[in-house]
C-alpha cells in the first residue's frame, strides 16, 4: 500500500506573513486521517508557519532548494538552512525549470542535496503542450525520470523520502486539468521507467498536479496509480483544499 500525499504549493502567495500564518493555521485543522498532508509556503514564511502550526501533522515543504550547501548563490536557499524547519522540498517544478533554467541534471543535484540533509523530496516532472502534441510525452517523462531521478543515491531516495509529482505543464494554473486516464497513463510510464532504473517502482508515491480542484479531485483519487495531488491555486482556499484532501482519504 503506497502512502497517499496531498500537498499545497502556495507559489508566491500570499503576500503577507500574517496571511501565510492564517492560511497555515486553517489548513492545520484539516484531518488527513491516514494520508499525508503538506503545504509549501514561500521560503520567507517557512519558519513562522512551522511555528504557528505547532504539533500539527501537516508537513511543511520548501518550494525549492539549491544543490550547494552554502556560498555565493544570491537569492537561493540551501538544504541545511531548511532542514530544521521543513520536512522536505519540492524540486523540479516547471515554473522553476522555466524561470531559473533548471534542467534534469540540476534538478537531480537539488534532489540529492535535499535527501543528503534528511529532507523529503517531491520531484516534479511533466511534458509541455507542444511535446504532448508532438507525441513526445513518453520520451520526455522517461528522460526526466532517467536524468533527474537516475543519479540519486538509492539508499537515500526511497519510497519514504521521494515522491514524484506528474505535472503536465499545460494543466498547471490553466483550469484545464488532465483527464484521469491521461494521468494514469503518464504515471504508468513514470513507474515503468523507475523500474528500469532498478527502483522498487511500485512502492513510490506518484501524485498528479495541474488544476486539481475540489470538484475534480475525486476523479484523480480514483485514478489507478495516482497516489495524491500537488495543488497550486486551490490550496490557497482552505475549504477547497480540505475537499481535495477528503477525496484522497
Ligand atoms: C502547481 O503549482 O504545482 C499546480 C499544480 O498548480 P495549479 O493547481 O494551480 O494548477
Domains of the chain, by residue range, sit at 5-234
> pLDDT tens digits for 223-232?
999 999 999 9
Pocket test for ligand 1, best of 42, 168, 172, 183 (most atoms within 8 A of CB): 172
What proportion of the chain, given as a percentage, has pLDDT over 90? 98
Tell me, what's the pLDDT at 199? 75
Question: Across all residues in the chain, what is the average pLDDT?
Answer: 97
Give the closest residue (by CA) to ligand 1 atom 4. 232
Give the closest residue (by CA) to ligand 1 atom 6. 232
Catalytic residue selected from 43, 93, 127, 193: 93
Mean pLDDT of 222-242: 98
Mean pLDDT of 198-203: 87
Reference 62, options 128, 116, 110; nearest CA is 110
Mark out the alpha helices in 63-128 (DSSP H runs).
Answer: 79-82, 94-100, 104-116
Mean pLDDT of 17-23: 98
Q: Per-residue confidence at 1, pLDDT binned at 50, 70, 90?
A: confident
Q: Does residue 44 carry a pLDDT above 80? A: yes
- Locate the ligand 1 atom nearest the alpha carbon of residue 171 and give its number: 10
**Whether the CB of 231 sits within 6 Å of ligand 1:** yes
> pLDDT tens digits for 119-129?
999 999 999 99
* Three-state SS at 133: helix
Mark out the alpha helices in the chain (DSSP H runs).
Answer: 17-27, 46-52, 79-82, 94-100, 104-116, 129-133, 137-144, 180-196, 217-221, 238-248
Mean pLDDT of 203-207: 97
**Whether the CB of 228 sits within 6 Å of ligand 1:** no
Q: Can 167 be counted among the known catalytic residues?
A: yes
Strand partners, 91: 123
**Whether the CB of 102 sits within 6 Å of ligand 1:** no
Strand partners, 66: 78
Q: State the distance from the centre of ligand 1 to the C-alpha of 229, rounded, in angstroms.
A: 9
Q: Can 66 be counted among the known catalytic residues?
A: no
Kind of pairing between the strands at 59-62 and 88-91? parallel
Fold of 5-234: TIM Barrel (3.20.20)
Mean pLDDT of 207-214: 98
Catalytic residue selected from 127, 167, 193, 219: 167
Judged on CB neighbours under 10 Å (0-12, 13-18, 19+), 93 is buried
Q: Report, in this order, helix, strand and coil percent for the chain, each rounded to 5.
A: 45, 15, 40
20 within 8 A of 42, measured Cβ to Cβ: yes
Mean pLDDT of 236-249: 98
248 within 8 A of 228, measured Cβ to Cβ: yes
Reference 43, options 18, 6, 13, 73; nearest CA is 13
For residues 49-79, one letter each, b for 16 or more C-beta atoms within 10 angstroms of the residue's C-beta and e for the rest, the string is bbebbeebebbbbbbbbbbeeeeeeeebbbb
CA torsion 60→246→149→119, rounded to 10°? Answer: 20
What is the rounded distance in angstroms from the CA atom of residue 73 to the CA atom of residue 222? 42
What is the rounded distance in angstroms from the CA atom of residue 248 to the CA atom of residue 228? 7
> pLDDT tens digits for 103-141?
999 999 999 999 999 999 999 999 999 999 999 999 999
Mean pLDDT of 41-69: 97
Q: State the distance from the centre of ligand 1 to the C-alpha of 72, rounded, in angstroms.
A: 31
123 within 8 A of 102, measured Cβ to Cβ: no
- Locate the ligand 1 atom nearest the alpha carbon of residue 233 and give its number: 9
**Whether the CB of 37 sits within 6 Å of ligand 1:** no
Q: Per-residue confidence at 221, pLDDT binned at 50, 70, 90?
A: very high
> pLDDT tens digits for 156-198?
999 999 999 999 999 999 999 999 999 999 999 999 999 999 8
Q: Name the grid cell of 65.
A: 532548494
Tell me, what's the pLDDT at 81? 97
> pTM for the complete prediction?
0.97
Residue with grid cell 515522491, as numbered in its chain:
163
Amino acid at each position: 500500500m503506497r502512502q497517499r500525499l496531498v500537498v499545497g504549493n502556495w507559489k508566491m502567495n500570499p503576500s503577507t506573513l500574517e496571511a501565510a500564518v492564517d492560511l497555515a493555521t486553517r489548513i492545520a485543522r484539516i484531518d488527513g486521517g491516514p494520508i499525508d498532508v503538506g503545504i509549501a509556503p514561500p521560503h520567507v514564511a517557512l519558519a513562522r508557519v512551522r511555528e504557528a502550526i505547532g504539533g500539527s501533522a501537516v508537513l511543511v515543504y520548501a518550494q525549492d532548494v539549491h544543490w550547494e550547501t552554502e556560498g555565493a548563490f544570491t537569492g537561493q536557499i540551501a538544504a541545511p538552512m531548511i532542514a530544521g524547519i521543513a520536512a522536505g522540498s519540492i524540486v523540479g517544478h516547471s515554473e522553476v525549470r522555466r524561470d531559473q533554467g533548471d534542467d534534469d541534471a540540476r534538478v537531480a543535484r537539488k534532489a540529492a542535496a535535499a535527501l543528503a540533509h534528511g529532507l523529503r523530496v517531491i520531484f516534479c516532472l511533466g511534458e509541455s503542450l507542444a511535446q504532448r502534441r508532438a507525441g513526445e510525452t513518453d520520451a520526455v517523462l522517461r528522460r526526466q525520470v532517467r536524468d533527474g531521478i537516475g543519479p540519486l543515491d538509492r539508499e537515500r531516495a526511497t519510497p519514504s523520502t521521494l515522491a514524484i509529482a506528474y505535472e503536465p505543464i499545460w494543466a498547471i494554473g490553466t483550469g484545464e486539468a488532465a483527464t484521469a486516464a491521461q494521468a494514469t497513463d503518464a504515471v504508468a510510464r513514470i513507474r515503468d521507467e523507475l523500474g528500469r532504473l532498478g527502483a522498487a517502482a511500485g512502492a513510490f508515491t506518484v501524485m498528479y498536479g495541474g488544476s486539481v480542484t475540489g470538484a475534480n479531485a475525486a476523479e484523480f483519487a480514483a485514478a489507478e496509480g495516482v497516489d495524491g495531488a500537488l495543488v497550486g491555486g486551490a490550496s490557497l482556499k482552505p475549504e477547497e483544499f480540505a475537499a481535495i484532501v477528503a477525496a484522497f482519504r
